[in-house]
Amino acid sequence: MAYLEPSAPQGPGPFRAPSDSRSAWLALAEEIEPQVAHYFLVSARCGCFMQAARSLNIKATLLRKRLAQLEEHLRHSLFTYQGNGLVLSRDGLQLQAQLASLALERRLPVLEQPLIRLAVAEPILHDILGRDLIALLRRNASVRLEIISIDSQLALQAVDADVVLWLSETDGRASGPSFATEPPRCLARLQYLPHIAKRYSRLTTRPDSVEDLNDYMLVQWQPDVQVDALQPWNNLVQQRLAAVVQVQAYSLMLEMIRCGACIGLLPHYMGSFDRGLVALPGLLAQSMQRQVWLAVNTQAGEVEAVQMIVALIVSTFEGRREWFD
């Protein structure tokens, strides 16, 4: 952004206020378009054009263009760089003080954003949705979002949310939230297999039968104990008299598989999510499958922020289609 020196001679144009004249700066501040004034105040508060643009949900190029136009109109340089930091110039501080005074005097309302409640099955949030969700929030820093982790059918029934992403049995039994939703859509079918870290098992020595598992510690995510679709694995764990650990945290189970030489039950896409993990097919005769479902609260379907979250979820699953096929 090009800046004008405050002391440079000026030709005909907008009134140039003396930097020590509060009344003149107040007059200038009153003429500034409210949106531009808001852009300036947010930029001053953030000390970074990129962060300010994120907070305002606009492109940084647009923000800098509008601020450059403001400087051109005022014939004052409002920002300057000190090292790597962006700070207000002396004139910028004058303008900030007057705009802040006007905002207090007029009691300008804050543009409140609707609170969006997103309830997500813990494995889906951790493995599939997390990174894209963070990227979305980086682009839309003014969003108000509450993320609710679902780790059981009981939690699903108790949750109150605008968007719900959950796991169910393949036959649809005992599935869906308790509140009214738009017609749910199935996003993926997951097959579950025991997994081991490649670093702890060479290809020629990996277990290929239930008996071979006696040489390994098993780890189980505790919420999976109540899932009927996973009973073949749950029964195997329950029969263990030694070398078994149960954990409440999904991330801890993954770490025990990655770094603790344990074998645990995971969705078959984990080999794509983490190249250090490998599935062990053929250990159990029975197939273990679940489905991923998405539903929107009937009272929230028209909210723009809700539609943005839904579009993100659908796009994320479409982009990872090869994980599930």
In which region does residue 317 sit, left (phi positive, over 0), alpha (psi from -120 to 50) or beta (all else)?
A: alpha
Out of 3.30.750.24, 3.90.1280.10, 3.40.1110.10, 3.40.190.290, select the CATH number for domain 115-324: 3.40.190.290
pLDDT in tens, 117-164: 999 999 999 999 999 999 888 877 778 899 999 988 888 988 999 999
- CA-nearest of 197, 205, 238, 206 to 220 is 238
**pLDDT at residue 10 in the model:** 40
Here the tokens at position 244 are 């078994």
**pLDDT at residue 106 in the model:** 54
What are the domain boundaries of the chain?
Answer: 22-106, 115-324
CA 55 → CA 58, 115, 306, 318, distances in Å?
Answer: 8, 16, 18, 28
Give residue 320's identity as a one-letter amino acid code: R
Cα 43 vs. chain centroid, distance in angstroms?
24
**pLDDT at residue 6 in the model:** 40
Q: Which fold has domain 22-106?
A: Arc Repressor Mutant, subunit A (1.10.10)
DSSP string for 183-219: PPEEEEEEEEEEEEEGGG--GGGS--STGGGGGSEEE
The answer to whether residues 63 and 141 touch, using CB atoms and an 8 Å cutoff, is no
**pLDDT at residue 114 in the model:** 85
Query: What's the rounded Cα separation, in Å, for the pair 264 and 286?
Result: 16
CA angle, 188 then 145 then 158, to 5°: 65
| Average pLDDT along the chain, 325 residues, taken 10 residues at a time | 40 43 76 86 87 84 91 88 83 85 58 87 95 86 88 88 93 76 94 92 78 90 94 94 94 94 95 93 90 94 90 95 89
pLDDT in tens, 38-64: 888 888 888 888 888 888 878 889 999
Q: How many residues does the chain have?
A: 325
Here the tokens at position 153 are 């059918």
**pLDDT at residue 161 in the model:** 95
**pLDDT at residue 13 in the model:** 43
Here the tokens at position 224 are 């999976």
Quick one: CA dihedral 133, 139, 142, 143, positive or negative?
negative
Residue with the two structure tokens 């501040």: 29
What value does the CA radius of gyration of the chain take, rounded to a whole number of Å?
28
**pLDDT at residue 173 in the model:** 54
Helix (H) or strand (E) run with residue 279 in it: strand 277-279
The answer to whether residues 122 and 249 touch, using CB atoms and an 8 Å cutoff, is no
- CA-nearest of 249, 282, 255 to 268 is 282
- CA-nearest of 47, 140, 57, 49 to 96 is 47
